[in-house]
Amino acid sequence: MSDNQETSDAEEDITPAGSATLPLRPPCDRLPCHKSSVCSRSYFVVVMVFFHVYIINVILLLFYVHYNSGQEDANRSRDAPSSNHQRPESRRPPSKPEFLRDVSLTRVEGIRVGHVQKVSLVPGKVHEMRTLSMKPLLFEIPGFLSEDECRVVMQLAQLKGLIESQLMVQDGQEELAKELNLSPEEIFNLLDINQDGQLQLHEILTHSRVRDGIWLTPENLREIYAGLKADKDGNGLLSLEEFRLLSNDAFQRFLLQRGVKRSQLVRNSRHTWLYQGKGAHQALQDIKTKVTRLTRLPPALVDLSEPLQVVRYEEGGHYHAHHDSGPVYPETACTHTRLAANTSTPFETSCRYITVLFYLNSVEGGGETAFPVADNRTYDEVSLIQNDVDLLDTRRNCDKSNLRVKPTKGTAVFWYNYLSDGRGWVGEQDEYALHGGCVVTHGTKWVANKWINIDPDYQRQARYQQLVSQQSEDEDDEGLTLNPDIQSSNIHQDL
Ligand code: OGA
Ligand code: CA
Ligand code: FE2
């Protein structure tokens, strides 16, 4: 390639030189013969010069490559004598090794909605796994848990004791707001998501849900506007002038005065965590093994994930639509790998690549798991909350969800909360993985969640796993056995 280029460059270069000799050119009749001998000589000289330059370049390049790889080998043997997948970059200090991407995550193929594939989870038994949706990639496996396993998990959870999944008041928010000392204009600007200079109902609703965990309906909000005389022109929108007339915590104080019922929270359930490592009840260890086989992920990833979360909804319980996992931003760290993160980050989120949800009982009425936008052609966040239809509201609008799974004892559903990055690792959050628990109209509902934690940042995940395995070796040396669940005992977080 470069050879040809250089040759053609040489031909171009020769033309001006030839033109310079024009005045000395003989008459036209002798031109062909004479020109050919002059041209061929200079042509030969120029080609030879370029040929030599080319050869010298190639030799220099070979020297350069040889020298550099030699240095890298030296670094490798000096910094990482005991590990074969460490490749420290010469730019970085040895304390922060770069890991080769030598692990590729298997993703179960959905093929198409309704496709059934056989899976082998326990010896001598075959389960059927049905594809429920492609966006998100979602499967259902009837009979994943045996009757006994369902019973044991519920009994162990009872024995351990369940706690309220959501506290009535979200702490820390008020201090944060005071600390920032924002002006009404600044707050208005933050809330005005579409930046049209008006606060639409859904802009206020989204805010109160995230900030206070209080699930207001559009009617609630209109009541509040009326109570506070906030919407003077009655158009259902708040202008900056209308907003300015409200005191800082007007909404919160109004709500507190009126009292907030459990049914007005984002989540109305109780839960507990069951560790699944060495020493745990055999049923819990068996479930973990089955999850590893189902997801076809490296066992270490499943071992290092959060414990099993057991959830109980009473009659009237619900969980409005949400994501189990956070979006991927460069400044966001995952809760499970923060131990190994060298830097502190302002945002931390649960990174749950997969959710495996188990139904521990068959619910008498309601309690379906709803996926409001599953297999939608497009995802449009704004249209999730239209004036009076809020697709995120699982107390009212589960019937409008694209997909609902009926809770049946022993059935497991599992889905990917992230897309693939196309290179065998975790990519962007899958917005279609939005889901919630519909209101339980009769009886109680018991479910369990097994979340598989993987950091979308490969390096952070690898560093975390190396750290944990080092700790495990150290503790083994001291005659202690490490229970990986204990490692993650304080990392699980409710979103
Ligand atoms: C959850 C959840 C759905 C359900 O616990 O995160 O989404 O059907 N549960 O209970
Ligand atoms: Ca607006
Ligand atoms: Fe969930």
Q: Indicate the CATH number for domain 115-167+266-471.
A: 2.60.120.620
Ligand 1 within 6 A of 455 CB? no
Looking up tokens 């995802």, which residue turns up? 379
Nearest residue (by CA) to ligand 1, atom 10, is 437
Going from the Cα of 386 to the center of ligand 2, the distance in angstroms, rounded, reads: 13
For ligand 1, atom 5: residue with the closest CA = 449
Looking at ligand 1, which atom is closest to the CA of residue 355?
Answer: 6
Looking at the DSSP assignment, which residues form a beta bridge with residue 370? 404, 436
SS (H, E, C) 16-72: HHHHHCHHHCCCHHHHHHHHHHHHHHHHHHHHHHHHHHHHHHHHHHHHHHHHHHHHH
Counting from 1 in the atom list of ligand 1, the atom nearest the Cα of 407 is 8
| 312 closest CA partner among 196, 454, 407 | 407
With helix as H, strand as E and coil as C, how does 398-455 read? HHHCCEEECCCCCCEEEEECEEECCCCCEEEECHHHCEEECCEEECCEEEEEEEEECC
Determine the pLDDT at residue 245.
Answer: 86
In this structure, the residue with its CA closest to atom 6 of ligand 1 is 324
pLDDT at 75: 40
Helix (H) or strand (E) holding 152: helix 147-160
Collect all residues with Cβ–Cβ distance below 8 Å to 109 and sequence separation of at least 6: none
Other Cβ atoms within 10 Å of 319 Cβ, number:
25
Mean pLDDT value across the chain: 81
Cβ distance 324 to 355 under 8 Å? yes
Average pLDDT on 11-20 reads 33
Helix (H) / strand (E) containing 114: none
Query: For residue 136, is the peptide bond before it cis, meaning its omega torsion is within 30 degrees of 0?
Result: yes
171-258: CATH, from 1.10.238.10, 3.40.190.10, 1.10.3720.10, 3.40.50.920: 1.10.238.10
Residue 33 pLDDT greater than 70, yes or no = no
Token readout for 275 is: 């560790």
- Output the pLDDT for position 208: 82
Nearest ligand 1 atom to the CA of 370 is: 8
Q: What single letter denotes the amino acid at residue 445?
A: K
- Provide the whole-model pTM: 0.76
Q: Is 265 helix (H, G, I), strand (E, B) or coil?
A: strand
Residues forming beta bridges with residue 125, ordered by sequence position: 122
- Using the predicted structure, report yes or no on whether residue 446 has a pLDDT greater than 60: yes
What residue has token string 């929270």?
265
- Asked whether 290 and 414 are in contact (CB, 8 A), the reply is no
Q: Read off the pLDDT of each residue in 45-54 and give the average, rounded to a whole number.
A: 74
Q: One-letter amino acid identity for 346?
A: P
pLDDT for the residue numbered 253: 79
Residue-wise pLDDT tens digits, 273-290: 999 999 999 999 999 999
Q: Is 450 in the pocket of ligand 1 (CB under 6 A)?
A: no
Question: Tokens standing for 171?
Answer: 């702490």
Measured from the Cβ of residue 197, the count of other Cβ atoms closer than 10 Å reads 11
pLDDT of residue 388: 80
pLDDT at residue 83 tops 70? no
392 CA distance to ligand 3 middle (Å) = 12
- Long-range CB contacts (< 8 A, 24+ apart) of 232-238? 236/200, 236/201, 236/387, 237/198, 237/199, 237/200, 237/201, 238/198, 238/199, 238/204
Residues whose CB falls within 8 Å of the CB of residue 69, separated by 6 or more in sequence, listed in order: none
Q: Tell me if 492 CB under 6 Å of ligand 1.
A: no
What are the residue ranges spanned by the domains of the chain?
115-167+266-471, 171-258
pLDDT of residue 180: 75
Collapsed DSSP state (helix, strand, coil) of residue 349 = strand
User: Which long-range contacts does 191-196 make (Cβ < 8 Å, 24+ apart)?
Assistant: 194/382
| Separation of CA 319 and ligand 1 centre (Å) | 7
311 ligand 1 Cβ < 6 A:
yes
Ligand nearest to the CA of 194: 2
pLDDT tens by residue, 301-350:
999 999 999 999 999 999 999 999 999 888 889 999 987 777 777 788 99
Q: Judge contact between 362 and 407, C-beta under 8 A.
A: yes
pLDDT band at 211, cuts 50/70/90? confident
Residue nearest to atom 7 of ligand 1 (CA): 436
**Cβ proximity of 287 and 149 under 8 Å:** yes
At 482, the pLDDT band (50, 70, 90 cuts) reads: very low
- Residue with structure tokens 């590893």? 292
In Å, how far are 10, 22, 26, 29, 174 from 18, measured between CA atoms?
A: 12, 7, 13, 18, 83
Query: What's the CA gap between 76 and 83, in Å, rounded?
Result: 9
Crossing angle of helices 31-79 and 2-20, in 10° steps, is 140
